[in-house]
Chain A
Amino acid sequence: MLPSYEETLAALRIPEVELKQLQQVHKRKLRTAINWFWISAVITIAVCFIVYGVAESDGLWPILTLVLSLFCLIRIFSVHAANKRAYRLDYKHKVVGPLADTMLKLAKLPHETRDYEKYCDYAPEAFIDRAWISKSELFVTDIDDITGEDLFTGKYGLTEFQFSELKMTRKETTTDTDGNSTTTNVKVFDGVLFAADFKKHFSGLTVINTKVIKRDTGIGKLVSKFINAAVSTANKRANQKIELENVEFNHHFIVQTTNEIEARYILSSVLMEQILSFVNQHPHPLVISFHDSYMFIAVYSSKNFFDDGIGKSTPNGEYNLQGIYNDLSIFFRIIEEFDLNTRIWNK
């Protein structure tokens, strides 16, 4: 079980002095940029007065000084943006990473043995690589561009895991009747991809897709069947659609697989209940796949995970990490809720 937010905060050593020093450096840089702007503005006004007012000529000096002032003004914004980026990166390294690691180190798992390990590494600018994305078999279309951030990797008990934010797009070219072609970026995925080493060994592919429309009887069932199939992101390799014994599970999900027996081996009645419980607690749409002894969960959401509260503080001046703690809990709890540390089978 993960520690509470308060327990985690108490154990976490936030390098407040370092962060404050960093903020001071950034403030100094910004002040310098602002000062240069004011100097250039005063020079511009003075030059205009001298050239147009006193000398009454059409010289270029006022224009040059005006350009200089504009440059200084733009510089203020770019320095502010660079400061913000640098501070966020440093904050993530010094606070978010240690927060994740502390959460796992303080966690208490049932039936812990000496083989259990609990740690989490963090790379704020990295993301899950293309090989793992392909391995998940969750995205059937071509992917032209992948960006992401906040890569967490580690081990929680006996289960190795990794997850990160991902944005994936593909290029679509359309040609109008005049022969003019336009290329647009179409979003394939925006959210978090989670991968964990599953507790059983299997080689095939099973995909669990959330139903868009949930109708189980009458004409609605027929209509929903076509619509759900049309919007399905399931890999076409998993071409056997199966219905399981859990009626509620079948109501929420479409299950497709390359091997029906293997799908039922993975999806025991207990795991189906665990998946239902997880989905009911979290509102984001998701797709789950099981491939080559790994479990992948794609959480669709445009929310900026693991960034909430950076640089902000509570009314009593403490760092506000509740949002980041909640986001991390969602993914660490997957390992607990799906009981991935129970390894009583050969793998």
Chain B
Amino acid sequence: MIIGGIVLAVIVLYGIIVYNSVVSRRNKIKEALAAIDVYLQNRFDALTQIAETVVSYAKHEREALTELTMMRQKISALPASTDKITQLEQVEEGLRNINVQVEAYPDLKASDNYLHLQRTINDQEEKLSAARRTYNANATSYNSYIASIPNNIFASIFGFKEADLLNIDESKKAEVNVKNILRG
């Protein structure tokens, strides 16, 4: 009876420890996701500023920029998730298509404002990359923890599910042909 009680107490205690560990890991994933959201917003803002300067030269792109900004506002209102990140990146792709036209305006490209914005984007890209790496590291740690024995028993009791990893878009995995890009 006493032994049974002790065994039960150990199981309950272990269950509490597992629960707390999983919650802590899950919170780290949420924190990384929130950071990705912030850096995406910052990158989008920098890209928009470049797009604004390009549009002041190439007036026919004004409509496209307005549409993209409205789409972005709708997506921003959503809670942080991997789907939201994918949608944001699609909107940003549209911005980059506007910004590539800066090649036609060498004065704009050499301006201090443009260079500063470009450095801001580079910075945000690095931070975004770091946030993604952090997310994936924490998600992997969380997934390994809830999949290992005997934690998987408690994880299924408490309803913890595997976290998705952030994957690279298939188009970005393809080999890059620089010649084709330069030809336009």
- Does B bind A? yes
Of the candidates A243, A263, A345, the one whose C-beta lies within 8 Å of that of B126 is: A345
> Do the beta carbons of A345 and B123 come within 8 Å of each other?
yes
Write out the residue numbers on chain B whose beta carbons fall within 8 Å of the beta carbon of A260.
28, 32, 134, 137
Closest residue on chain A to residue B123 by CB atoms: A345
- Kindly report which residue of chain B lies nearest to residue A201, judged by CB atoms: B123
Residues of B within 8 A of A262 (CB): 130
The answer to whether A264 touches B119, judged by C-beta atoms less than 8 angstroms apart, is no
**Pair B119/A345 contact, Cβ less than 8 Å:** yes
The proximity string for B residues 110-135 relative to A, scoring 1 for CB distances below 8 Å and 0 otherwise, is 00000010111011001101110110
Task: Please report which residues of chain A, range 172-189, place their CB below 8 angstroms from some CB of chain B when the two chains form the complex.
Answer: none
Q: Tell me, rounded to whole Å, the shortest Cβ–Cβ distance linking B24 to chain A.
A: 12
Query: Contacts A261-B32, A265-B127: A345 and B133 contacting too (C-beta < 8 A)?
Result: no
* Chain A CB within 8 A of B54 CB: no
CB distance from B31 to the nearest CB of A (A): 9
Query: Which residues on B sit within 8 Å (CB–CB) of A67?
Result: none
A317 to chain B, nearest CB (A): 53
A242 to B133, CA, bound (A): 12
Which residues from chain A contact B123 at a C-beta distance below 8 Å? 200-201, 345-346
Once A242-B137, A243-B137, A245-B133 are accepted as A-B contacts, the answer to whether A261 and B127 lie under 8 Å apart by CB is yes
Cβ-neighbour of A344 out of B28, B32, B122, B131 (below 8 A): B122
Determine the distance from Cα of A43 to Cα of B120 in the docked complex, in whole angstroms.
84
Chain B hits for A242, CB < 8 A = 137
B134 touches A346 (CB 8 A): no
Tell me, yes or no, whether B35 is within 8 Å of chain A by CB: yes
Which positions 229-283 of chain A face chain B at CB distance < 8 Å?
242-243, 245, 260-265, 268
How far in angstroms is the closest Cβ of chain B from A320? 45
Considering only residues 2-48 of chain B, those with a C-beta below 8 Å from chain A are 28, 32, 35
Inter-subunit contact B130/A261 (CB<8 Å):
yes
Residues of B within 8 A of A201 (CB): 123
Contacts of A344 in B (CB 8 A): 118-119, 122
CA distance A346 to B129 in the complex (A): 16
Separation of A345 and B128 alpha carbons in the complex (Å): 13
Q: Which residues of B contact A345 (CB under 8 A)?
A: 119, 122-123, 126
Report the minimal beta-carbon distance from A231 to chain B, rounded to whole angstroms: 26
Chain A, residue nearest B35 (CB)? A261
C-alpha spacing A265/B127, complex, angstroms: 6
Across-interface contacts of A264 in B (CB, < 8 A): 129-131, 133-134
A265 touches B126 (CB 8 A): yes
Which residues, 79 to 135 on B, are CB-close (under 8 Å) to A?
Answer: 116, 118-120, 122-123, 126-127, 129-131, 133-134
- Which chain B positions have C-beta within 8 A of A265? 126-127, 129-130
Q: Which residue of A lies closest to B141 (CB)?
A: A243
Measured between alpha carbons, how far is A201 from B129 in the docked complex, in Å? 16
A268-B132 Cα distance, complex, nearest whole Å: 12
Q: Once the chains bind, are A346 and B126 in contact (CB under 8 Å)? A: no
Q: Which of B120, B126, B134, B137 contacts A200 (CB 8 A)?
A: B126
Q: How far is the CB of B25 from chain A (nearest CB, A)?
A: 13
Give CA–CA (A194, B28) in the complex, Å.
Answer: 34
Q: Looking across the interface, which residue of chain A has its beta carbon closest to that of B32?
A: A261
Instruction: Look across to chain A and name the residue whose beta carbon is closest to the beta carbon of B118.
Output: A344
- In the complex, chain A residues whose CB is within 8 Å of the CB of B137: 242-243, 245, 260
Please tell me if the beta carbons of B131 and A346 are within 8 angstroms of each other in the complex: no
Residues on B with beta carbons closer than 8 Å to the beta carbon of A263: 130
B positions within 8 Å CB-CB of A: 28, 32, 35, 116, 118-120, 122-123, 126-127, 129-131, 133-134, 137
Q: Taking A245-B137, A260-B137, A265-B130 as given, write out 4 further A-B residue pairs in contact, using a Cβ cutoff of 8 Å, ordered by the A residue number.
A: A261-B130, A265-B126, A344-B122, A345-B123
Q: Give 6 closest A-B pairs by Cβ, nearest first.
A: A265-B130, A264-B130, A345-B123, A346-B119, A264-B133, A261-B134
Enumerate 20 A-B pairs (CB-CB under 8 Å) in ascending A order: A200-B123, A200-B126, A242-B137, A245-B133, A260-B28, A260-B32, A260-B134, A260-B137, A261-B35, A261-B127, A264-B129, A264-B133, A264-B134, A265-B126, A268-B129, A344-B118, A344-B122, A345-B119, A345-B126, A346-B116
